[in-house]
Amino acid sequence: MNFKMNHAEWGELASLPARRRAELFARYRAHQSKKEISTLLSSEERKWIKRNSTDFQAFFEEGGRIIFYDDDNYPRLLREITFTPPLLFGKGNFSLLEKELITVIGTHQMRPYGKAVTRFFTNGLMKSKFGVLTGTLNGTEETVLRTSARMGGEIVCVLASGHHSLFPKNNRQLLEKIEQTGVTITEYTPDTAFDSRFLEERSRLLSGISRGVLLTEEKSRGGALLTVQYAVEQNREVFVVPGNIFSDGSAGAHDLIMEGARLVANPQQVVESFLF
């Protein structure tokens, strides 16, 4: 691509909050002027950057990388979204970021049906031409990760923290295993601890990186619905697996189907939807 950025300059801005970096980068891309960045910073932000300059040497020695917007490994579709990150932190098999991906998400309070559905679809998608993307949280996302690990672990995982503060802690060993064959990425510097506010920021990446979002199970007003909302705004395909009509745990999924999301009963239906 023709667009080029000063990696050293943007690396110095890594200590700023991820949302602020994305806002600055949106204005930077609009003007395509390196001089714009410094003039857009407040005096408080300049002081913050000086006080909180980050040394990434330990992260690099562990195999970590900073992936910039104009790098070949930067997810292609992520460049299309509003407030795209100027840089990502990653560990693992970076070639997976160049694949076409389907995001698999759902409830954090899984029922046996939802777990079976999630395993079934993850297995099927990983055998297809698409790669699979998910997050790190307990419930559906953890089930996707564990299923993929049994199949070789070539999966893309978006963190809601920095790499040195993996969240939730009970999935730390699983995530470290995923990094051996898959790839973990995040907007947050390695030592950034989880903050619940990061979940919304993460949602726009979960949908923005992929061709489509698959919801396997979710209640009304469940957290995964935010990712679906971003998917609609980003013009991504939304697929939903129907659940038990007597279960409140599937109410959110059924609402989406009634609103026009594509009902799917097997992984092949997801794959075939992109053939036409």
Would you tell me how many other CB atoms lie within 10 Å of the CB of residue 185?
27
Q: Does some domain include residue 193?
A: yes
Instruction: Please tell me the predicted confidence (pLDDT) of residue 32.
Output: 58
Q: Does some domain include residue 214?
A: yes
Q: Does some domain include residue 107?
A: yes
Domain total of the chain:
1
Residue 164's CATH number? 3.40.50.450
Q: Does some domain include residue 99?
A: yes
- Decide: residue 151, CB within 10 A, 0-12 exposed, 13-18 middle, 19+ buried: middle
Query: In what helix (H) or strand (E) does residue 115 lie, and over which residues does it extend?
Result: helix 112-126
Instruction: Please tell me the predicted confidence (pLDDT) of residue 275.
Output: 79
What domain range includes position 226?
A: 95-273
Instruction: Please tell me the predicted confidence (pLDDT) of residue 36.
Output: 64
Do the Cβ atoms of 84 and 78 come closer than 8 Å? yes
Q: Does some domain include residue 16?
A: no
Going by the DSSP 8-state scheme, the letter that residue 79 receives in this structure is G
Instruction: Please tell me the predicted confidence (pLDDT) of residue 248.
Output: 87
- In this model, does residue 99 exceed pLDDT 60? yes
- In this model, does residue 33 exceed pLDDT 80? no
168-216 pLDDT, tens per residue? 999 999 999 999 999 999 999 999 999 999 999 999 999 999 999 999 9
- Name residue 124's amino acid: G
Q: Does some domain include residue 28?
A: no
Q: Does some domain include residue 117?
A: yes
Q: Does some domain include residue 121?
A: yes
Determine the average pLDDT of the residues in 72-101: 96
